[in-house]
Amino acid sequence: MKIAIMGAMPEEVAPILEKLGEYTTTEYAGNKYYEATYKGVELVIAYSKIGKVFSTLTATTMIEHFGAQKLLFSGVAGAISPSLKVGDLIVATKLSQHDLDITAFGHPFGYVPEGAVFVEADTQMIAMSKKVADEMGKSVQEGIIATGDQFVANEERKNWIGKEFGADALEMEGASVAVVCDALDVPFFILRAISDAADMDASFSFDEFLETSAVESAEFVMKMVDKVIAA
């Protein structure tokens, strides 16, 4: 089995590489891909760079070029749900692109013909995450994640995304990774730790908490990898 672990930013994959210690590095299509054997299983790890286009490229490369059969994403997000505070973890049940808009043609936000407003994450890995949370003594919230090519630092925009998509958190890569994995039939799991509240203080909060929240997410994702391997 080959498992992909993906982030968007260097800070999101650094704690994972640190835990692995030894790995090889391959440059491909403008990115670095790190490969390691972990508990008898092959891993491919990469950060895509920010946004839907780069994350699409990286997820596709991990699957089509490196042969990943499952994909786990680790990173940070802005909170929409008031119950999510900085450092809290959210597991995506389903994801949508909040900036996809052909409503001029009568379609709902997040929809293009032959696509779907939401893409659902792998239910088996979501179930596993509950056990992992119990074992780690952590509370993890499940919810809808909305993705767009936009750092949201605006209460009004955040509230609109929350209302329109029923979203609990927002970020810039999850839904594009979801579309790729769904199309290529690769089970995927998207975990995010909250770095900010997507409000007027978001950029300051993001800068302050990116590293610590990324570590929270990475630690949980590595426990998820352990569970996937043991299953």
Q: Under the criterion CB under 6 A, does residue 196 sit at the interface with ligand ADE? A: yes
**Active-site choice (12, 168, 171, 219):** 12
196 is catalytic: yes
Q: Under the criterion CB under 6 A, does residue 202 sit at the interface with ligand ADE? A: yes
Task: Read off the amino acid at residue 7.
Answer: G
Q: Which of 171, 182, 216, 219 binds ligand ADE (CB under 6 A)?
A: 171
Interface characters, 58-77, with ligand ADE (x: CB under 6 A): ------------------xx
Query: Residue 2 CB, nearest distance to ligand ADE (Å)?
Result: 28
Q: Under the criterion CB under 6 A, does residue 195 sit at the interface with ligand ADE? A: yes
> Per the structure block, which two tokens stand in for 86?
């900085």
Q: Is the CB of 132 or the CB of 172 nearer to ligand ADE?
A: 172
Q: Which of 4, 89, 128, 152 binds ligand ADE (CB under 6 A)?
A: 152
Query: Residue 203 CB, nearest distance to ligand ADE (Å)?
Result: 8
Q: Under the criterion CB under 6 A, does residue 145 sit at the interface with ligand ADE? A: no
CA dihedral (135, 139, 144, 147) positive or negative: negative
Q: Under the criterion CB under 6 A, does residue 162 sit at the interface with ligand ADE? A: no
Looking at 36-44, 108-116, 119-127, 164-172, which segment touches ligand ADE (CB under 6 A)?
164-172
Q: Under the criterion CB under 6 A, does residue 206 sit at the interface with ligand ADE? A: yes
**Active-site choice (122, 168, 182, 196):** 196
Q: Under the criterion CB under 6 A, does residue 173 sit at the interface with ligand ADE? A: no
Q: Which of 7, 15, 78, 174 binds ligand ADE (CB under 6 A)?
A: 78
12 is catalytic: yes
How far apart are the two ends of the chain, measured CA to CA in Å?
Answer: 12
Give the separation between CA 210 and CA 215, rounded to whole angstroms.
Answer: 9
The three state secondary structure string of the chain is: CEEEEEECCHHHHHHHHHHHCCCEEEEECCEEEEEEEECCEEEEEEECCCCHHHHHHHHHHHHHCCCCCEEEEEEEEEECCCCCCCCCEEEEEEEEECCCCCHHHCCCCCCCCCCCCCEECCHHHHHHHHHHHHHHCCCEEEEEEEECCCCCCCHHHHHHHHHHHCCCEEECCHHHHHHHHHHCCCCEEEEEEEEECCCCCHHHHHHHHHHHHHHHHHHHHHHHHHHHHHC
Q: Could you list the residues that contact ligand ADE (CB under 6 A)?
A: 76-78, 151-153, 170-172, 195-196, 198, 202, 206
> Catalytic residue numbers?
12, 196
